Each structure stands twice: as C-alpha cells, then as structure tokens.
Amino acid sequence: CRTQAEADAGKAAIQRALRALRQRHLVEEGAHRPAIEALNRPFAAHALEWKEKAEKNELELQQCYKAQSRLSEQLVSEINEAKTSKALLKEKEALITALQSELQQTSEENVQLKQSLEEKTNALDLLVQEHQAAKAELERVLTKLKAVEHENTQLVERLMQAKMVEAEKLNEANAMYEEMVLKLKAAGLGAGGIQHHAQQEADGVIRRSEAGYVDIMETPIPSTCRITIRAHDGGCGSIIFQNNTDKLISGGQDQTVKIWSAHTGALTSTLQGCLGTVNDLAVTNDNKFVIAACSSNKLFVWEVNGGRPRHTLTGHTKNVCSVDASWVKSLVIASSSNDRTIKIWDLQTGFCKSTIMSASNPNTLAFIHGDAICSGHRDGSLKFHDIRSGKCFATVAAHIDVSSICVTRSKNHVLSSGREGVHKLFDVRMPTEVVEICGTFRAPSNRLVGSWGRACISPDENCIASGSSDGSVCIWSRSKNEGPTILEGHSLPVVTSAWSEFGPLATADKNHIHIWA
C-alpha cells in the first residue's frame, strides 16, 4: 500500500516536472523567436541593418565624445572657479579678521581719546581760570605801570636838574681852567706846559663830576713778556679778561674756551661743548656767564662756576663774528653776524629779544651805554643803535673796513680799528648829539691781521695796544706825542689783545698767548 502511494507521488512529480519543462521551453522559444526570425532572413538584409546601426552607434559615440569634452572643459573651469572662490574666501576671512582687530583697536583708541578729551576739558577749564587770574594780574601791572610812568616822569625832571648842575660844574671847571692858565702865565711857564697842566687839572675835575667815576691808577707801558701760554690747538681766536679779576679767558679753533690765571699762567678750567671756531668772547658784568660767538652760526653760554652749559643761542644764519654783554643789565647780550644782523638776547630765557638789520656786515660791536650799542661795519662806518627801538641814531664814517671796536672802562670813549692799520678814538658821551674824534693812531709797521685783528685800550684810557701781522705789538700813549712803543716776542701775526683792569696786557697769535708786564 505504501509502495503504491510512493509510486503515485513519483508519477505526479514527474508530470509536474514535464509540465515545467514544457513551459520553460515555450518561454525560451518566445525569447529567442526574434533571433530565430532574424536568422531566417537573408544575410544581405542583416548586413545593411548592422551597418546602419554601426553608423548610428558611431555617430552617437562621436556625440558622446564631444559631450564628454565639453563636460571636461566645464569641469576644469568649475574646478578653477572653485579654487579662485576658495582663495577669495580665505582673503575675505583674513580681511574680516583684520577688520575685527582694527575695530577692537579703534574702540580702545576711542576710549583713550575720550579720556584725553576729558583731561583736555579739565585743562581748558584750568587755563580759563589762569587766564582770568592773569587778566587780573595784568590790570594790576598796568596800574603799577602808570605809577612807574609817573615816577619816571619825575625822575626825568630830576635828571634834567642834575644835568643843569653838571653844566654848572663844567662852567666852574672852565673858569678854573682859565684862572689856572692866567696863574701859570704869571708864574712864567711856557704855553705848552700851561695848557697841558691846566687840561690835566680840568679833566680831573670833569671826570670826578661824572657818574660812575672810578679813580684808576696810571697804567705803565709794558716792556717784557712775563708769561707765555700754549693755549689752543689750531690757533687762538679771541681773549678777554674777567671783570675786576686777573682771570684770562681764551677761545680757539679747538672748539674749547679756557680760563687762565694771568698771574701764574695756570689753566683753571676748560669749558666744553662748543661747535665751531671761537671768533669772539664776552663775560657778563657779574662774571657769572661766559659767551662764545662761533663759526657754527651759534652762540654758547656757560656758567663760570662749574663750567655747566647754560644756553645754545640759535638764530643767526651765518658766521657769528662778535658778541658783547651789557655792563648794566647782566642778562642782556648782543651779537653780530655775517648775515647782516645784530641780535639782542635774553640770557634768562635764552631767546632773541630783537633783531636789527644792516646794509653792511657788522664785523664787531660793543655796549656803550645801558641801552645803546656801537657796531663797526665792513663798509667802514660806526653805527650807534638803541636796542629798545632798534633804530640807528648816529653814523660815523671811520675806516675803510672796521675790524674791531673797544669801549673804555668809563664808557666815555670808543676805540675803533680799521683794516688799513689806523686806530681812532671817539668821544661818545653824547652820541645822540655829536660823536667827536679824540685821536688817531698809526704806525708804518702796524698792519692788522685781516678783518678780525682786535686792538684794546688800557684801564686808565691812556694807552692803545694793537698787534701786527709781522708779530710785533704797538703801544701808543695819549699823553705823549711820541711814536709807539714796539713789543717783540711773537713769531706769528698777532690776532687779538686785551688789557686787564689790574694792569697786565695779553696778546695772542695762532700758537701762543703772551702776558706782558
């Protein structure tokens, strides 16, 4: 029974397998039908159809290649644009970072400016208060000025009265002179001895009646060189004595100013810091400051005690050739330059107070009165200026080319020296009215060294000393109508000279300073 069932199941499975094979055969036959039909067609027809398909496929392939080429070009272009965009993006990011940093910095600066504005506002308020205080002070000073002007008017009246008294004294001196002449004539003296004796007596009366008279002993004419000093490398340009001391100050081409003892010749101090050759020197009336005029267009000021530089005065545009200090106002000096200007300086501030223009180069200058200066010019003239107004109130034709001027101790006379070797003494007691010549001094052997040779006059105003280009020193005496005394000892041209108030005469050439006694 079981075997029958298995046989029936096997028959059924075989039948199902046969039906599946038939169905599969039908499907495959349907799938291969086009190929079978094509194989059944003629071969020529198949070849033409394949050719058309091959040409069509080749055309499509060419179009694909062209499309692929275009797409490749587009891809390369897109890649380049992407790279450019990426670089631009990086630049923008860097710019944004920089702008953020700048914004932060600007914010910080804004905060600082705000703080500064507040400080400036506070300072402005303070300045307004100071201005109000200064205005009140100005009103007070103006009131005081009116009182001073009134007092000045009274002083002028008193001065006029004093001048009248001086005139009366002068008249008395003249009367005394005439009386003495008559007495000496009666005594039997010669005319020359009478005039000389009477003039000496009258001059003594007149000088003693003048303000600021100091009785000075007669200065002897020196004859021998007592001290020789090797002062500066390259040459000495200027020498000057301190007021009321035996200290000698020298300046030279080594850009230093040195202070010496005229009694021993020892170097006491050296002032450093000068630029350029020292052309001229000056010392204030209180001996606190030394001023050097230099070829560097500047003036240098030192404190004598300690040698500390005080000021460097700038303003001249060319070589500064001369300088002098006021003998009334200790902090006022004047300088002249080849830029054709004279400048007045305030040593308290170090600033130029005023400038006086000139048509000719002022080679030299000197203070003659409190607010008056005398300047010697390259055109040979002496000009007298008021430093307060800057106006020239007198001009005197003196030389061909003025090389130096020297004011006497009494401030009554000015000694001028010309390049032609002539020295002239002028009476400047009343320069606004008349400038009289008191004497002319010359010698065949006396020839100044260029336009910078400097002569000097003794403290008693009797002797005139001048160096010569041949190395000699000529000394004239006003009281003796004789030729000059000749001092020899220099081996080179004598450039400058100075006479101490205590008697010694100093002269300088390029290498040495000689002190005579």
Q: Which stretch of DSSP H or E encloses residue 195?
A: helix 191-209
Give CA 511 to chain center in angstroms. 30
**Cα gap 182→9, rounded to integer Å:** 200
Coil, helix or strand at residue 487: strand
CATH number at 225-516: 2.130.10.10
Please spell the DSSP secondary structure of 62-113, one letter per residue: HHHHHHHHHHHHHHHHHHHHHHHHHHHHHHHHHHHHHHHHHHHHHHHHHHHH
Give CB contacts under 8 A, 24+ apart, made by 334-343: 334/365, 334/367, 334/373, 334/387, 335/293, 335/299, 335/365, 336/362, 336/363, 336/364, 336/365, 336/375, 337/297, 337/362, 341/316, 342/373, 342/375, 342/385, 343/315, 343/316
Residue 436 CB: number of other CB atoms within 10 A?
12
Q: How far apart are the first and last CA of the chain?
A: 180
User: Among residues 415, 475, 425, which one has the least CA distance to residue 445?
Assistant: 475
**Cα gap 284→367, rounded to integer Å:** 12
Tokens in use for 423? Answer: 């020295």
Q: Which residues does 14 contact at the CB level (< 8 Å), separation at least 6?
A: none
User: Among residues 361, 360, 366, which one has the least CA distance to residue 338?
Assistant: 361
Residue 512 CB: number of other CB atoms within 10 A?
19
Extents of the domains making up the chain: 1-40, 41-134, 225-516
Predicted pLDDT of residue 150: 86
User: Among residues 299, 283, 379, which one has the least CA distance to residue 340?
Assistant: 379
Each residue's pLDDT tens digit in the chain (517 positions)?
Answer: 667 777 778 788 888 888 887 777 777 777 767 666 666 665 556 667 788 888 888 888 888 888 888 888 888 888 989 999 999 999 999 999 999 999 999 999 999 999 999 999 999 999 999 999 999 999 999 998 988 888 888 887 777 777 777 777 776 777 777 777 777 777 654 444 544 544 444 444 444 444 444 455 678 889 899 999 998 988 898 999 998 888 999 999 999 999 999 999 999 999 998 988 999 999 999 999 999 999 999 999 999 998 999 999 999 999 999 999 998 888 999 999 999 999 999 999 999 999 999 989 999 999 998 789 999 999 999 999 999 999 999 999 999 999 999 999 888 899 999 988 899 999 988 877 768 888 899 988 888 887 778 999 999 899 999 999 899 999 999 888 788 999 999 999 999 999 998 878 999 998 899 999 8
Tokens in use for 354? Answer: 């005023």
Predicted pLDDT of residue 42: 56
Burial per residue of 387-412, b for 16 or more beta-carbon CB atoms within 10 angstroms, e otherwise: beeeeeebebebbebbbbbbbbbbbb
Predicted pLDDT of residue 2: 63
Burial per residue of 340-356, b for 16 or more beta-carbon CB atoms within 10 angstroms, e otherwise: bbbbbbbbeeeebeeeb
Tokens in use for 1? Answer: 């029974």
**Cα gap 333→325, rounded to integer Å:** 4
- Asked whether 422 and 430 are in contact (CB, 8 A), the reply is no
- Asked whether 225 and 505 are in contact (CB, 8 A), the reply is no
Predicted pLDDT of residue 46: 63
Please spell the DSSP secondary structure of 316-353, one letter per residue: -SS-EEEEEE-SS-TTEEEEEETTTEEEEEETTTTEEE
Tokens in use for 72? Answer: 């490749």
Backbone angles phi, psi at 24, to 5 degrees: -65, -40
**Cα gap 204→486, rounded to integer Å:** 29
Q: Which stretch of DSSP H or E encloses residue 369?
A: strand 362-369
Q: Which residues does 391 contact at the CB level (< 8 Å), separation at least 6?
A: 385
User: Among residues 408, 357, 405, 413, which one has the least CA distance to residue 381?
Assistant: 405
Predicted pLDDT of residue 201: 45
Say if residue 105 is exposed, middle or buried (CB neighbours under 10 Å; 0-12, 13-18, 19+). Answer: exposed
Predicted pLDDT of residue 45: 61
Tokens in use for 54? Answer: 């091959």
- Asked whether 209 and 168 are in contact (CB, 8 A), the reply is no
Predicted pLDDT of residue 52: 84
Predicted pLDDT of residue 43: 54
